[in-house]
Structure 1
Amino acid sequence: MNRIPAASLLLVAALAVPFGASAKTSDRNQTLGVDADTSDCSTDERAPCLFTGNVEITQGTLEIKAARVDVRRSNGQIQRTLLTGSPVRMRQQMDDGSWVDATAAQADYTLTNDTVVLTGNAVVNQPGQGKIEGQRIVYNMSTGRVQGGGEGQGRVRMQFQPRNQGQQPAQQPAPAARGGR
Structure 2
Amino acid sequence: MTRTAAKLALAIVAACCAQAAVAKSSDRQQTMQVQANRSDCTVTDAGPCVLTGNVHIVQGTLVIDAARADIRQGDGDIQSARLTGSPVRLKQEMDNGGVMNATAAQVDYNLQQDTVVFTGKAVVQQPGRGSIAGERIVYNMRTGQVQGGGGDEGGRVMLQFEPRNRAPAGNAPPRDGNDD
TM-score (normalised: structure 2): 0.86
TM-superposed CA distance for 1:44, in Å, is 2.8
Aligned to 2:106: 106
SS of aligned partner of 2:6: coil
Partner of 2:156: 155
- Superposed CA deviations along residues 92-149 of structure 1, whole A, max 9, x for unmatched, are 0111111000000000011111110000000000112101000000000110000000
Q: Percent identical across equivalent pairs?
A: 54
> 1:39, 1:32 → 2: CA distance?
16
Question: Aligned-pair distance for 1:164?
Answer: 2.1
**SS of 1:151 mapped into structure 2:** coil
Greater helix percent: which structure? 2
**2:129 equivalent in structure 1:** 129
Q: Distance in 1 between matches of 2:18 and 2:83?
A: 17
* TM-score, length of structure 1 as denominator length: 0.86
Tell which deviates more after alignment, 94-103 or 69-78: 69-78
Deviation of 1:8 after TM superposition, in Å, equals 0.6
Match of 1:9 in 2: 12
Q: How many residues align?
A: 171
- Higher-Rg member (1/2): 1
Partner of 1:82: 82
Distance in 1 between residues matched to 2:20 and 2:126, nearest whole Å: 7
Is 1:60 aligned to residue 63 of structure 2? no
Note the residue ranges of structure 2 that are not aligned, 5 or more in a row. Answer: none
Contact 1:121–1:134 under 8 Å retained in 2: yes
Q: How far, CA to CA, are the matches of 1:155 and 1:62 in structure 2? A: 29
Match of 2:161, as an amino acid? F
AA matched with 1:69:
A
Task: State how far apart, in whole Å, the 2-side matches of 1:161 and 1:82 are.
Answer: 31
CA RMSD of aligned residues (A): 2.2
For 1:179, the equivalent position in structure 2 comes to none
Matches for 1:20-35 after TM superposition, within 5 Å: 22-35=22-35
Structure 1 CA distance for aligned equivalents of residues 166 and 26 of structure 2? 28
Structure 1 gaps, min length 5:
175-181
Structure 1's consecutive aligned runs of 4 or more residues displaced over 3 angstroms after TM superposition are 166-174
Match of 2:119 in 1: 119
